[in-house]
Amino acid sequence: MGPVDEGSDELAARAGLKLAAGGRRAFHRADMAAAANLLTRAVGMLGPDEPQRREALLLLGAAFSEIGKPDQAETAFHETIDLAEAAGDQAREWRARLDLSLLRARFDPGPTSAEDLLREAREAISAFEELGDEQALAAAWRWQAQALYWLGELGAAAAAAEQAVGFAERVGDRHEQTRGLQLLAASLEEGPTATLEAIQRCEEILARAGDDRFLVAAIQRKLATLYRMQGELGEARRLADNAVEIYEDLGLPVALAAALGFERAGVSWVAGDLEVAERDLRRAVDLLTAIDEKGLLSTIAINLAALLCEEGKEEEAEHFLQVSEETAAADDWVSQSGIKSVRASLLARQGEFEAAITLAREALAEAEGRDNQLWRGLRRVSLAEVLVLAGEADRS
């Protein structure tokens, strides 16, 4: 029976390798549902000592994260860590640990701070430099860019993202290149780069995106906000609509919620289509609630609360303010400053002007210490609105 069993094991291994290859292809074209299916089957056929099993598990965790299945993603990352540690595979062990930290920061932001992720990313960069692993360095620089982006250090985030893209291009890692370019565009959009320069650079990235639909949608999202800032609302709406359509087709709930809650709702809000903006914000909240995502939910919920406050729906605004308070991490300065800003607006509408002005100034102070022009501008507008309600517009 021995030779038959060995032959069966060999056949299973070959089938597992083919499934893993198919899963990688699906992953790199952002078909995460197909990637999760193929990679799950591959993992079931590859032996624990196979390096390809560790790589398949690493990608499987990332795929599960993108389609809103954090528990399955965490299981995959833990197994990767265990197998990599046993095999002395330092690069994959580091990558799985950092992907796990990133997952927790998105779905359960309390225990894992952006500072924690930044520290881990910098340790990983040192480790990967010693190993001479450029593919792993691409991922580590992306993690550093993500942490810096969350901390509001957008000039540094853009520089880190460019490092990630450079390493990814050298080793031909399309996934890391796409994610690095996505973070670069986000940092250009919200950071100190002049709007016209940011548009030019994002248009250049879009022009080279080719058939990478995930990257196309990611850059169109950022261009939508940039064109909105230039007053080109028609172009902004077209770009936001295209991004939403792509994310819907790809089945990516977190990315879809972001495009609905930030870019498309933002265009409608500025255009005065408050009902349309509210509908998109509510849909975004529902998408994130359904998959128990908290990192993004806290910010979109506070944006919805701000819109409802502007519409005079103060009871509903209070509800979504509480949603944000319950889900925002202590170091999530965007959500925390937004909470203060909306609370200030509600207090001003109730005639409690001094408390409202104090809170609005605190919200602005939190944003002023960051390298994020977009959110700083929004907090300044919120303070000005509170001062107008208080009859003190000359202090704005």
Among 37, 69, 97, the domain boundary falls at 97
Question: Per-residue confidence at 170, pLDDT binned at 50, 70, 90?
Answer: very high
* CATH number of the domain to which 47 belongs: 1.25.40.10
Whether 346 contacts 325, CB under 8 Å: no
Question: Is residue 207 domain-resident?
Answer: no
Q: Please indicate, yes or no, if residue 105 is contained in any of the structural domains.
A: no
- Average confidence score pLDDT of the chain: 93
For helices 274-290 and 295-310, what crossing angle results, to 10°?
150
| Per-residue pLDDT reduced to its tens digit, 185-195 | 999 999 999 99
Asked, for residue 102, whether it belongs to a domain, the answer is no
Closest CA to 42 of 27, 55, 53, 32: 53
CA distance 326 to 274: 25
Is 230 a member of any domain?
no
Does 175 fall in a domain? no
Give tens-digit pLDDT for 146-163. 999 999 999 999 999 999
The per-residue pLDDT for range 320-358, each reduced to its tens digit, is 999 999 999 999 999 999 999 999 999 999 999 999 999
Domain that holds residue 70: 1-97
**Domain's final residue, options 82, 97, 112:** 97
When pLDDT is cut at 50, 70 and 90, the band that residue 8 belongs to is: low
List pLDDT tens digits, range 253-298.
999 999 999 999 999 999 999 999 999 999 999 999 999 999 999 9
Chain segment 9-45, per-residue pLDDT in tens: 678 788 999 999 999 999 989 999 999 999 999 999 9
Which two tokens mark 72?
């399955």
Instruction: Indicate the number of domains in the chain.
Output: 2
The answer to whether residues 46 and 56 touch, using CB atoms and an 8 Å cutoff, is yes
Mean pLDDT within 97-106: 90
